[in-house]
Amino acid sequence: MAQDGSFKPYIAANHAAVTLVSEVYLVVEVPKTVGFVDDLPLQVTALPILFSALDQKLVSSIAPTKVVMPLMTRSFDAAEVIEQLSVCGYQGAVWVLSPKLPNRRMVERELKSMVKGIHVEVIELEDIRAMDDIPVIQMLRPH
């Protein structure tokens, strides 16, 4: 968050020119070494936040088109984030980033069954390590 209270979104490094943003992804504590952010289409802006900053005011003011989160960290898991999103009134798509799982579809079904109106997709990443062991993108802190 900028000093004036406005949000400063992360724009992926591979963008050669500033383009009109048509989608905003809310990125909840995803490590900066997870390269998906730089591979996002040019029309997407990723706004990194701390899980503790996720509230109804933030969700309604940003109106994200997608929310991206890790499956699990030492301090929270995707189920907690999805429940909080539901409390905040979010109705949309969620990407849950995960290391390779024995049964991705089972985990995805369980997360989908938690709340209505949120579409959950579990995305397995080859190189993902324990989320707490690597630095995270600079994130918004609660006021």
Which residues, including other chains, have CB under 8 Å from residue 129's CB and lie 6 or more apart? 99
Average pLDDT per run of 10 along the chain, which is 143 residues long? 46 49 81 58 76 93 92 92 96 91 93 93 71 40 40
The predicted model scores a pTM of: 0.71
- If DSSP codes are grouped into helix, strand and coil, which group holds residue 136? strand
> What is the predicted pLDDT for the residue at 10?
46
The tokens for 135 are: 């630095």
Among residues 124, 133, 64, 112, the alpha carbon closest in space to that of 92 is found at: 64
E strands, the chain, are 23-28, 44-49, 66-70, 93-98, 119-124
> Domains in the chain, ordered, with CATH?
23-129 (3.40.50.2300)
> What is the predicted pLDDT for the residue at 37?
59
